[in-house]
Structure 1
Amino acid sequence: MKFKMQDRQNQLIERISPQHLIVGIDIAQQTHVARAVNFRGKILGNPLTFENNEGGFSSLFQWIRKLQKEYQLTDVIIGMEPTGHYWINLSTWLFEQEIEVVTVNPYHVKRNKENRDNTQSKSDLKDALVIADMVKNGYYASIQPTSEKFEKLRVLMANRDTIIKRLVSTVNQINRWVDLVFPELREVFKNVTGKGAITTLRLFPTPQEIRALTPEDISSSWKKHMKRQPGLKKAAALFRVAQQSVGTESALDAHRFHLQQLLEEYDLTTTQLERVEETVRSVLDHIPYIENLRSINGLNTISIAGILGEAGDLSQFSHGNALLRHAGLHLVEASSGKWRGQTVISKRGRSRLRRFLYMATMNLINNNQEFKARHIYNVQERGMRRMKSLMKLIGKFARILVGMTKNQEVYNPEKIHLLQAA
């Protein structure tokens, strides 16, 4: 069955009945603004400004009940922009009150701000009304409270991203330090963050300190701190390049102090990365269909965790194309009359999910025989550009994920028919 977005749009519109009170909320850090309309878009009642706390939430609830009673409306639907993280506590509280909450795309709100008054003006009161209008017209996305397992994955993988950024920044600074003080170190150790290079930087980081030693002293020091040390030959090479180093000899005390702090940060981030990845693996063990996903050759643990953390329960998606749309990987085209524009991906979705789907598919092309064969066929036989083939395979991968989780199936290369025309 083909997934048609227009069918989904019609369903969203049909859900709004004449008995609905439609509330739009403009989210902020401390104070929110709410406005209400009926199913025709007629403004109901006065705007409400309420604080981002229990008292403010209660005043919103009382305001909603008052409007329902005044206009004899039985159902409520509340729309809001997923602005940063400020909307999460409010939406959770509303779910606990059994009130339906949906989200609208902030980009759509910006595009629709002139619908009411045909002006470019912007205010919290106007934005709340625009949001309510968009919900009334079916331009919203339904959300459901994420189960604790998937919420844990989302938080842990976001934490991992932060650690990775810090680690990359630290490694870049260590490389810069080596370039300034001891550039010849790379002639002995190709990887500056390898065990041998890091141990050397801890013990005798500058050429001046190495010159005061002998190759035997260097090798002996390595043995005390490394189980598998580089050896005397490597120590002699290090001693030789230190004699001819062109690294700076100015402010060496400050350079040593800087390096010490960089190594402390490097140790901290690597330890944190190991801990968070270990925790991620333990959380994945509690996902019902995790073994099915692990049966996909070439799909690593981090990719699985990243996709599940950003997308949530994959079995809740109606089709793989819905997952692509959630990630912003669906195709869009601008055309008019005889003119047809270039087809591109929308990038209107979860950027981290796009990244994990992209990286996972790249790994599959390199390590999974079926995906690798399909990619070669697309490029060599069908004449596709490599990126276009990659995007098609991301779509195939998304449909496989949703199909496997919905049907509780393991990976079956023969059933997938990747080698047939896509």
Structure 2
Amino acid sequence: MKYKVFIGIDVSKLTIDVHLHGIGASKTFSNEEKGFALFLSWVKKHSKQSEPAEMIICFEHTGMYSIKLATYLNDIGIPFAMLPALQIKQSIGIRRGKNDQIDAQRIAEYAWLHRETIQATLLPAKSILKLQSLLTLRNRLVCDRGGYEATWKEQKRHWKEKSTRDISSL
């Protein structure tokens, strides 16, 4: 598919920074449904001749922060490419200077440079997304528990020495 409008978004916890390639317009919106609606109306205002199917929105996969945007775009049928951050960084190379607006601009450049090969992301069903989120949380909790158990064993071993008070029975 030939896209005409290339949009780069830097997603963070509270905001999304948007850049329209070729037009040079940039703006920040809240990372919530209300902010997404404002973002789309802003894009329509700046790219008057293009239909939503002619645009591609490109952003890094940042886990739970980007999945809200991906789900919103998926539900209203706007094509987007959610890419691994490392893929974008490796293609751009090492550059000095870092802020969210510059990152959004670089992501838009990436989308434009790869316009012939970039493919829209297809999200799995919402139930699968929920399971993935729960599995991620479970893995994190299991790792944390292992760390706490190791610390507890070290504490117990330390406090069993005769020169210190035995608190392992507490």
Normalised to the residue count of structure 2, the TM-score between the two structures is 0.78
- Partner residue in 1 for 2:20: 36
CA contact (8 A) 1:35 1:46 kept: yes
- Partner residue in 1 for 2:131: 153
Q: Deviations over 1:212-251 (max 9, x none)?
A: xxxxxxxxxxxxxxxxxxxxxxxxxxxxxxxxxxx53631
Q: Structure 1 residues 104 and 140 mapped into 2: Cα distance closer, same or farther (>3 Å)?
A: farther
Higher RCO, Cα 8 Å, sep 6+:
2
Q: Structure 1 residues 50 and 22 mapped into 2: Cα distance closer, same or farther (>3 Å)?
A: same
1:26 and 1:170 mapped to 2: Cα distance?
35
Q: Deviations over 1:40-72 (max 9, x none)?
A: xxx115212212233321211111222332xx2
- Partner residue in 2 for 1:92: 71
CA contact (8 A) 1:79 1:102 kept: yes
2:5 and 2:119 mapped to 1: Cα distance?
17
Over aligned residue pairs, what C-alpha RMSD do you find?
2.7
Task: Point out the structure with the larger strand share.
Answer: 2
Q: Deviations over 1:244-301 (max 9, x none)?
A: xxx536312x3322xxxxxxxxxxxxxxxxxxxxxxxxxxxxxxxxxxxxxxxxxxxx
Q: Between the two proteins, what is the percent identity of the paired residues? A: 22
| Unmatched 5+ stretches in structure 1 | 1-14, 38-42, 183-246, 258-422
Deviation at 1:78, TM superposition (A): 0.2
**Secondary structure at 2:147 match in 1:** helix
Larger radius of gyration: 1
Deviation at 1:31, TM superposition (A): 2.4
Match 2:146 to one of 145, 168, 174? 168
Q: Structure 1 residues 68 and 156 mapped into 2: Cα distance closer, same or farther (>3 Å)?
A: same
Deviation at 1:174, TM superposition (A): 4.5
| Unmatched 5+ stretches in structure 2 | none
- Partner residue in 1 for 2:4: 20
Q: What is the total number of aligned residue pairs between the two structures?
A: 165
CA contact (8 A) 2:156 2:168 kept: no
Normalised to the residue count of structure 1, the TM-score between the two structures is 0.35
2:63 and 2:127 mapped to 1: Cα distance?
22
Give yes or no for the alignment of 1:125 onto 2:101.
yes
Runs of 4+ in 1 over 4 A off after TM superposition: none
Q: Structure 1 residues 96 and 149 mapped into 2: Cα distance closer, same or farther (>3 Å)?
A: closer
Task: Point out the structure with the larger helix share.
Answer: 1
1:177 and 1:47 mapped to 2: Cα distance?
53
Q: Structure 1 residues 158 and 100 mapped into 2: Cα distance closer, same or farther (>3 Å)?
A: same
The one-letter amino acid of 1:251's match is R
